[in-house]
Amino acid sequence: MSDLAFFIPAALGTVAVLVRLPSLRRNARDPLLRAVVVFLLTATGVFYFGATSTIVNVNEITGVPNFAAPLLYSLLMACCGSGIILIINWRGGPPARIRRSTRWCAGTYAALAVAMYALFALGEAPVERLEDLDTYYANTPYIREMIVLYLVGHSAAAVIMASLCRRWLSDVSRELRAGLALLIAGYTSTLGFDVCKFAAVGARWAGTDWDVLSTEVARPFVTVSFCLILLGFGLPLAVQRFKGPWRDWTRYRRLGTLSRLLHGLTPTTAVVRMPLLSTVGVRRLHRESGIHDGLLTLNPYFDLTLRARALADALAHGASDDDAAADADAVMVVAAVDALRADPERHVIASSRELRTEPGEERDLVRISHALARILSGGPGGPAPEREHA
């Protein structure tokens, strides 16, 4: 099998690690972030050291035939352990239970990794095997046990992680549920690798040659599983990263009609110019601030009687309480804007001694903006306002 099947996932893992490193530097004590980085590092190491060219280089550098085998198997155990720890920390729970589970998992897989080197040292594997060490030494004392031990550890980790993800699946929704489904598929694919390896080794024990299962059929399972697992971990993190800016942009856009209507009502000395490269979150806050300032300027012109009539009319036409309130607020705001423009000297503001209730303080500005859009485009009989989802 071409080394590209190993180096491509290794490259993806390296990119993922580099993306997470800045966050790790800022939050070095975050156990979940540490678990993510360790898992990505060990998984990347497995693919890098699993490539045939790397195996050759390791054996040449150490001068020990097949030394790349225990090195690769120990990295695999580290990857399995860090994957379980990642799921444990990701799911959360009582801190004491998380720490206890983490210690048990780390200790178990560290012991397995140490056992790999001990068994390799006790056994004899003088003939370098680059692709079929599992089956070639399937009947060699100690090397045989090393092979079985890494397969058992790898299979157990896949079963544990798939089980943890499956139990968690019913408690979550949306992007996290999709991520867990990808993880389950990835770890199930990992079991396909183990089944092929066990079958090939078992065939050698029975005196049969099924080496093709180990050398050809098993390897694609690894690449597929890694890509699914990487997507499973990455999808929720990516969605979470962009969800906030997307919500800000959506709210910013939906407030456009109300913002444009109130634009220019506030004295120019109170207007704050936005830098060209401001984030969408800052722009959303600036737009909301401008709307509140505009409503405060309009406050003396609010006609609460007009609002009450508009509210009753909207309810009479079958609007919901929230939509009716938004329609009534929109009608009052439009009337207040007209009244303010008809009073260029601001006599009403100068003589006002009463601050009327401002509709934007306790009501949904987005609904008011949509109601305004309907009114300005043809009247209250237009389509119902689009609701903003959390």
Mean of pLDDT values over 322-342 = 88
Q: Rounded CA gap, 153 and 147, in Å?
A: 10
Max CA-CA distance within the chain?
Answer: 103
pLDDT of residue 359: 47
- Residue 93: which region, alpha, beta or left (left: phi > 0; alpha: psi -120 to 50)? left
User: Has domain 4-245 been given CATH number 1.20.1070?
Assistant: yes
Amino acid letter for position 150: Y
pLDDT tens digits for 255-314? Answer: 888 888 888 776 654 555 666 667 788 888 888 888 888 888 888 888 888 889 989 998
The pTM score is 0.70
- Domain-wise residue ranges, the chain: 4-245, 256-377
Q: Rounded CA gap, 17 and 44, in Å?
A: 9
Res 126 pLDDT > 80 = yes
Look at the chain and count its residues: 390
Q: Directed axis angle between helix 280-298 and helix 321-341, to 10°? A: 70
Angle CA 231–5–192, to nearest 5: 65
Handedness of CA 219, 225, 227, 230 (dihedral sign): negative
Res 119 pLDDT > 70 = yes
Among the residue ranges 112-116, 157-161, 283-287, the one predicted with the least confidence is: 283-287
- Confidence band for 384, pLDDT divided at 50, 70 and 90: very low
- For 209, the token pair is 């040659």
pLDDT tens digits for 277-294? Answer: 677 888 888 888 888 888
